[in-house]
Amino acid sequence: MSQKSLFEGRWGVIITGLVVGVLAPILVKLGNPGNMGVCVACFTRDIAGALGLHRAAAVQYIRPEIIGMVLGATIAALAAGEWRARGGSSPLVRYIMGVIAAIGALVFLGCPWRAFLRIGGGDWNAVVGLLGFVAGIWAATFFLRRGYSLGKSRPMAPVMGWIMPAAMVGLLALLLAAPLFGRDADGNPVGPVFFSTSGPGSQHAVWWISLLAALVIGFLAQRSRFCSVGAFRNLIMLRDTRLFMGVVALIGAAFITNLALGQFHPGFAGQPIAHTDGLWNFMGMLLSGMAFTLGGGCPGRQLFLSGEGDTDAAIFTFGLLTGTALAHNFNLASSAAGPSPYGPAAVIIGLVVVVILGFTMRDVAEGEGKSRSAA
C-alpha cells in the first residue's frame, strides 16, 4: 500500500485519531491542564492572553501545540507537493464565524477535540457538549443542502500563504525569548508577552515535548484530512464513516491511555476546567458546531489548512483568536462554577448571526451565471 493510499483511506484517519488520543493524555501527565492535552480553542485563548489581547491572568501562555500543528501541516503539505497559497473565499464571514465559534467553545470550556478528550477522561459533561456539537452540525447541514456557500477560493501570491507559518515561527521566538519591557509599580509585567504564574496557563509540559507532539499531529492530520466537523457532517449528509472512525479511535485511545496513566475519573462533578450546567454545555457547542461547519471545518482542520497555504483558514483562525479575547474581556467565558452572567446571551446572539448568514450566503458567481443564462 502506498503512503498516499494509506493516508487517503480509512486507516490514515484512524492512525491520526489514535496518535492524538495517546499523545494528549501523555501531555496532561507531563504538565498540561486536566483533559486538555490538546484544545485549539483553549490554547488559542492562552496565546491571546500571552499577547495581551485579554488580561485574564490565569490563562496566558504561548502554547507550542498550536505552533506545531500549523508547522507540522506545512511540512506535510510541502513533502506531498500540496502546499499552495489560496484564499479570497468570503474572508470576512469566515472571520466572524471564527469569533462566534470561539465564544461558543468557551461557554462549554473546550473545542470539539477537547470534548472528545474529556469523554476519554471520564467527564460526562462533555457527552452533553458533544450532543450539542452534533446538533449544531446537523442544523448547519440544513443551510448546506439549500445552497449555502462561501464561494470559491483562488490562487494567491505565495507570500500570502506563508504568513501563517511565519507567524507561528514568530510565536515560537516569543515563547523562547519571553521578552519583558519592564514592570509596573506593583511589580506586574508590562509586556510584550505575559505568562500565567497560576491557573491553567501555568500548567504545561516542557515546550519542546509539546512542540514535537504537535508537529506529529499536524503532519498526520494534514495527510489524512482529519476533521471533527467533517466526521459528523459526512456521516449525516453522505453516510460516509471514514472521518468518523478517526473520532472513535481518538476517544478510544484517550480512554485507554487515561486508564493506564491513572487519569480516568468518571462523573459529572469535580472535573478539571469544566462545569456541570448541561443546558449551556449543550448550547455552547450547538453554536460552535454550526459556526465551525459553516466556517469550513473544525478548529484543528483550520490550523492544518492554514499551514498548507490556505489564507481563508488563517483568517478563520484569527477570528478564533479574537473571539477568545472577547470572551474574556467581556466576561462571556464560563468557569468551573458555571456560565458567566453574559455568556448565555452571547450564545443566543451568536445563533441569530449564524442563522442570518446561513440563509443569506450564496455563491455570487453562480447566481450571476444563472442570471445571465436566464437573460
Q: Output the pLDDT for position 3.
A: 57
**Taking the chain, what is the end-to-end CA distance rounded to the nearest angstrom?**
52
| Rama region for 180: left / alpha / beta (φ>0; ψ in -120 to 50; rest) | beta
Q: Output the pLDDT for position 191.
A: 83
C-beta neighbour count of 356 within 10 angstroms: 10
Evaluate whether 77 touches 308 at the Cβ level (below 8 Å). Answer: yes
Q: Which residue is it, cell 467527564? A: 123
Helix axes 112-120, 228-238, angle to 10 degrees: 90
**Beta-bridge partners for 123:** 267
170's grid cell: 514568530
- Cis amide prior to 344 (ω within 30 degrees): no
At 219-245, the pLDDT tens digits run 999 999 999 999 999 999 999 999 999
Evaluate whether 42 touches 112 at the Cβ level (below 8 Å). Answer: no
Evaluate whether 143 touches 293 at the Cβ level (below 8 Å). Answer: no
Residue 53 CB partners (closer than 8 Å, separation 6+)? 321, 322, 325
Q: Output the pLDDT for position 15.
A: 97
Residues 306 and 155: their CA atoms lie apart, in Å, by: 14
Residue 116 CB partners (closer than 8 Å, separation 6+)? 21, 126, 130, 228, 247, 250, 251, 254
Angstrom distances, CA of residue 279 to CA of 118, 131, 152, 290, 345: 17, 11, 37, 17, 13
Q: Output the pLDDT for position 187.
A: 80
- Candidates 96, 198, 186; CA nearest to 150 is 96
Below-70 pLDDT ranges, the chain: 1-5, 364-375
Q: Which residue is it, cell 497560576? A: 198
Q: What does the DSSP 8-state code read for residue 87?
A: E
Evaluate whether 334 touches 120 at the Cβ level (below 8 Å). Answer: no
Q: Where are the domains of the chain?
A: 3-178+192-365
Q: Output the pLDDT for position 364.
A: 59
Evaluate whether 88 touches 150 at the Cβ level (below 8 Å). Answer: no
Residues 177 and 196: their CA atoms lie apart, in Å, by: 16
167's grid cell: 507567524
Angstrom distances, CA of residue 34 to CA of 6, 250, 359: 33, 17, 39
At 23-61, the pLDDT tens digits run 999 999 999 999 999 999 999 999 999 999 999 999 999
Residues 354 and 361: their CA atoms lie apart, in Å, by: 10
